[in-house]
Amino acid sequence: MDKESVDVFINQIRGFLKEEQIITDKDGMSHFCYDATEMRFMPDIVLLPCSSEEVSKIMKLASRLDLPVTPQGGRTGLSGGALPVHGGLVLSLLRMNKILEIDQKNMQIVVEPGVIAEDLQIELKKYNLFFPPDPSSTVESTLGGNVAENAGYTRAVKYGVTRDYVLGLEAVLPDGEIINIGGRTVKNVTGYDLVALLIGSEGTLAIVTKIICKVLPRPAIRKTCIMYLDDLGAAADLVVTIFGAGILPCAIEFMDSMSINCVADYLPTAESLIRRDAEALVLVEVDGNHEIATDYEARRIMDLSKGFSGVIEAKYAENDEQAEKLWRIRRDTLPALKAKGKDHLEADVVVPRYRLPFLVRAIQESVATKTVKVATFGHAGDGNLHVTIQYRKRNFAELEEANELLGDIYRKAIEMGGKLTGEHGVGITAKDYMKIQMSPAEIALMKRIKYAFDPKGILNPGKIFPEESG
Ligand SMILES: Cc1cc2nc3c(=O)[nH]c(=O)nc-3n(C[C@H](O)[C@H](O)[C@H](O)COP(=O)(O)OP(=O)(O)OC[C@H]3O[C@@H](n4cnc5c(N)ncnc54)[C@H](O)[C@@H]3O)c2cc1C
């Protein structure tokens, strides 16, 4: 944006926003120019609206002046969706952070988009309720960001993803119109499902300003077990075998040896629980309300694992504190890998669960001939793998190799009936690979939907669509 447009815009915005809601100095804005991808794009202005009406007024003005607007939540995104790649305005929803209602009788909640996921869980616990979609970024990510990305989480294998809990949304369209879609009914098949369309739209169609969700009674009992294995492929086989035995865990996660060792370095307090010599670990949790039934399920998993080829150790968490420590190992995987300080590329591929062992082995095969290092971990129960390729940016050969490997992993996942991204979204990191998965007709249809919502193309431009397709 040129300085003149910025000045015109700010003069008008001062008519309804307080000075503290407008940031234009470089220092202040530098806080909003990056997300968990660690890429940086400087906006021209950052605005912190406190209500839907303010968001609407901002959008009306931005639309009139053709200004790009990038909605932002907690900036924990891993595909760069919240980055203002075309400059313009960053609209941070962090001040719209009220839990407006907890309706215990109907097991529903109404929240503003800036509510932090963990704050909601803490509040719901007081009512013996829980909101299953709780990503590992729970301490920083917002409900608005979780809806915009259709976030997954460790318990999605049993409870489904964010989409399965959202009943209604209030949202502001790019021209400033406020819409209320869906609502508080459990059923609704009136016309097209606009709520479903906005969920996972990565802030490119509308700005979510209020969210109505269903919540569930909190399960009283959780049993957590950990298995260490001497082979990564065998870990994927174990996951498929557990489901094949008719058991539905609420979470089943896995990590490879590089992830395990990075966490061991990063979390010295968990050292006694970690086996550095293992090639893989599988973390399984079952939950329920009856001690005997839940314990029976956990025991079946342990019995199955102990007799499974490749398992070198299988153990229960003895109490909640130990279970929490085991979960910490998995939750801290990404920060632990990043703490190694190397540059990295990340894939968030997902395949049908029964294909997981094939994908894991195919990735191992590709990696075997490379010099770059690769860590694989993720939501094995969902067939969702996070593959982190570590390389040195200044080393051109490594950068090239990392990019080649990334494309190869995407292609392999898609050949196996999988998808480019299971939960992190396309954003800017995966958009150039969209054509591997989607046909030209499918991309064109998505672009027509984008145009119907945002004819001027001002909302979160530069995301999802490959560059040459606009
Ligand atoms: C350590 C770590 C662990 C993670 N674990 C998980 C995990 O288990 N599961 C998972 O799915 N993801 C995970 N992620 C990725 C990330 O946390 C999720 O994508 C999360 O949903 C992003 O929320 P946010 O509030 O940080 O959104 P941001 O990063 O700020 O934004 C993400 C996208 O949402 C859009 N957006 C934000 N708010 C709104 C709004 N109100 N209206 C419209 N669009 C909006 C933005 O424009 C952007 O496109 C993890 C990330 C990290 C760093």
Tens-digit pLDDT profile for residues 199-216: 999 999 999 999 999 999
Tell me, what's the pLDDT at 469? 47
- 200 Cβ closer than 6 Å to some ligand 1 atom: no
Which segment of 164-168, 309-313, 334-338, 427-431 scores lowest on mean pLDDT? 334-338
The mean pLDDT value for 218-242 works out to 95
Q: Mean pLDDT: which of 44-48, 325-329, 333-337, 366-370 is highest? A: 44-48
Distance CA 98, CA 113 (A): 8
Of 387, 307, 391, the residue nearest 349 (C-alpha):
387
Distance CA 1, CA 236 (A): 50
Tell me, what's the pLDDT at 466? 86
342 pLDDT higher than 90? no
Domains and CATH numbers, the chain: 3-92 (3.30.43.10), 99-217 (3.30.465.10), 221-335 (3.30.70.2190)
The mean pLDDT value for 127-153 works out to 96
Instruction: Please give, one letter per residue, the 3-state secondary structure of 261-276.
Output: HHHHHHCHHHHHHCCC
**β-bridge pairing 45-47 and 280-288:** unpaired
- 148 Cβ closer than 6 Å to some ligand 1 atom: yes
Distance CA 210, CA 100 (A): 9
- 137 Cβ closer than 6 Å to some ligand 1 atom: yes
The mean pLDDT value for 305-324 works out to 93
Tell me, what's the pLDDT at 167? 98
Distance CA 195, CA 200 (A): 10
470 pLDDT higher than 50? no
User: How sure is the predictor about 467, in pLDDT bands with cuts at 50, 70 and 90?
Assistant: confident
The mean pLDDT value for 81-110 works out to 97
**Which protein residue has the closest C-alpha to ligand 1 atom 1?**
137
User: How sure is the predictor about 272, in pLDDT bands with cuts at 50, 70 and 90?
Assistant: confident
Distance CA 74, CA 145 (A): 7
Which ligand 1 atom minimizes the distance to the CA of 96? 41
Q: How far is the CA of 34 from the centre of ligand 1 (A)?
A: 13
- 21 Cβ closer than 6 Å to some ligand 1 atom: no
Which segment of 47-61, 373-387, 404-418, 455-469 scores lowest on mean pLDDT? 455-469
The mean pLDDT value for 53-75 works out to 97
Tell me, what's the pLDDT at 70? 98
470 and 456 Cβ atoms separated by less than 8 Å: no
The mean pLDDT value for 1-28 works out to 92
User: How sure is the predictor about 152, in pLDDT bands with cuts at 50, 70 and 90?
Assistant: very high
Of 179, 191, 144, 184, the residue nearest 168 (C-alpha):
184
Residues in the chain: 470
Residue 177: CB partners within 8 Å, gap ≥ 6?
Answer: 56
Distance CA 199, CA 463 (A): 15
Instruction: Please give, one letter per residue, the 3-state secondary structure of the chain.
Output: CCHHHHHHHHHHHCCCCCHHHEECCHHHHHCCCECCCCCECCCCEEECCCCHHHHHHHHHHHHHHCCCEEEECCCCCCCCCCCCCCCCEEEECCCCCCEEEEECCCCEEEECCCCEHHHHHHHHHCCCEECCCCCCCCCCCEHHHHHHHCCCCCCHHHHCCHHHCEEEEEEECCCCCEEEEECCCCCCCCCCCHHHHHCCCCCCCCEEEEEEEECEECCCEEEEEEEEECCHHHHHHHHHHHHHCCCCCCEEEEEEHHHHHHHHHHCHHHHHHCCCCCCEEEEEEEEECCHHHHHHHHHHHHHHHHCCCCEEEEEECCCHHHHHHHHHHHHCHHHHHHCCCCEEEEEECECCHHHHHHHHHHHHHHHHCCCCEEEEEEEHHHCEEEEEEEECCCCHHHHHHHHHHHHHHHHHHHHCCCECECCCCCCCCCHHHHHHHCCHHHHHHHHHHHHHHCCCCCECCCCCCCHHHC
Q: How far is CA 165 from CA 91, 98, 99, 137, 217, in A?
A: 25, 19, 16, 18, 13
468 pLDDT higher than 70? no
The mean pLDDT value for 109-130 works out to 98
Q: How far is CA 14 from the centre of its chain?
A: 35
**Which protein residue has the closest C-alpha to ligand 1 atom 28?**
75
Tens of pLDDT, residue by residue over 275-314, are: 999 999 999 999 999 999 999 999 999 999 999 999 999 9
Distance CA 124, CA 298 (A): 26
The mean pLDDT value for 431-451 works out to 97
- 90 Cβ closer than 6 Å to some ligand 1 atom: no
Q: How far is the CA of 428 from the centre of ligand 1 (A)?
A: 14
* Residue with token string 């591997």: 436
- 87 Cβ closer than 6 Å to some ligand 1 atom: no
The mean pLDDT value for 79-91 works out to 97
Distance CA 170, CA 275 (A): 48
- 378 Cβ closer than 6 Å to some ligand 1 atom: no
Which ligand 1 atom minimizes the distance to the CA of 146? 21
- 81 Cβ closer than 6 Å to some ligand 1 atom: yes
Percentage, residues of the chain above pLDDT 70: 99
Mean pLDDT (the chain, rounded): 95
